[in-house]
Amino acid sequence: MMGIWIATFIGFMAGVGGTGAGGLYIFFIKDAMRRRMSDILGFSGGIMLVAVFLELVPEALAISGLIYTMIGIIIGIMFLVISEWVIELLGPRHGSAETHFARAGIVLFLAITCHNFPEGLAIGGSYAASSGLGFLMAVALAVHNIPEGLAVAAAFRLSGRTPLRASVYAALAGLPMGLGAMAGQVLGEISPVLITISLGFAAGAMVYTTCEEILPDVFLVEQASSRGFIVGLILGTVFFNLI
């Protein structure tokens, strides 16, 4: 029983601590300088795509193959398509720039919360096998969550939210990782197919969010460029090959 609570605590710290640390960057910017925040969104999007194609998809393919991976990806994309439709009903897509970024922040928040749960499963499963392995997995995922917290906080900051509220939203996006860690520890040995579909779901959600929400926002701001996105791709590739 103690192992369950330890794994859950580690999962919560990795999730909330990682995205929360990314959100804290907002406090170091005196005002919402849109070009700078656009660069941050692009940087986060680049790292998220690298994480998908160097981490999530290869791991899913190795566990249960292409078919179940594709099923998960399709489910992840459809989930966000439906979520956007619901958000569209609650508020129009077109409007002020603040409304646009608020909508982008909500969709990004949904995507990150959804893929943090299967990553939590990885922490719980690793901890069930070895406490040391579980801790190392948690550290790696916490670092991986930092740019995602940056993206959430940047979008909400551009929508007119205060730095405190934007950083709180970023931290909350990491909560499902703790729940996933608890589930992984309790179940012990999870079905390989379930893990593959979960990882595919996360990959689909992240790709859709990056291409549909983040990248268009990078060029929405006057005089914005793709430099943040390119830097994110390069640094993300280096980082995920090092860990």
Q: What pLDDT digit, counting tens, does each position of 68-98 carry?
A: 999 989 988 888 788 777 766 755 555 566 7
pLDDT confidence of residue 34: 56
Cβ atoms of residues 26 and 167 within 8 Å: yes
φ/ψ bin of 95: left (φ > 0), alpha (ψ from -120 to 50), beta (otherwise): left
What domain range includes position 218?
2-242
In this predicted structure, the answer to whether residue 66 has a pLDDT above a threshold of 90 is yes
pLDDT confidence of residue 56: 74
Distance of CA 152 to the CA centre of its chain: 9
- Number of domains, the chain: 1
pLDDT confidence of residue 3: 66
The candidate with the shortest Cα–Cα distance to 173, out of 104, 79, 90, 106, is 106
**pTM for this prediction:** 0.66
The candidate with the shortest Cα–Cα distance to 112, out of 205, 239, 11, is 205
Cβ atoms of residues 44 and 232 within 8 Å: yes
Name which residue leads in pLDDT, 73 or 100.
73
Q: What percent of the chain has pLDDT over 90?
A: 2
Tell me the DSSP string of 42-97.
HHHHHHHHHHIIIIIHHHHHHHH-HHHHHHHHHHHHHHHHHHHHHHHHHS-SSS-H
Contacts of 21 (CB under 8 A, 6+ apart): 142, 145, 146, 149
pLDDT confidence of residue 99: 73
Distance CA 167, CA 156 (A): 9
Q: What percent of the chain has pLDDT over 70?
A: 69
Distance CA 51, CA 35 (A): 24
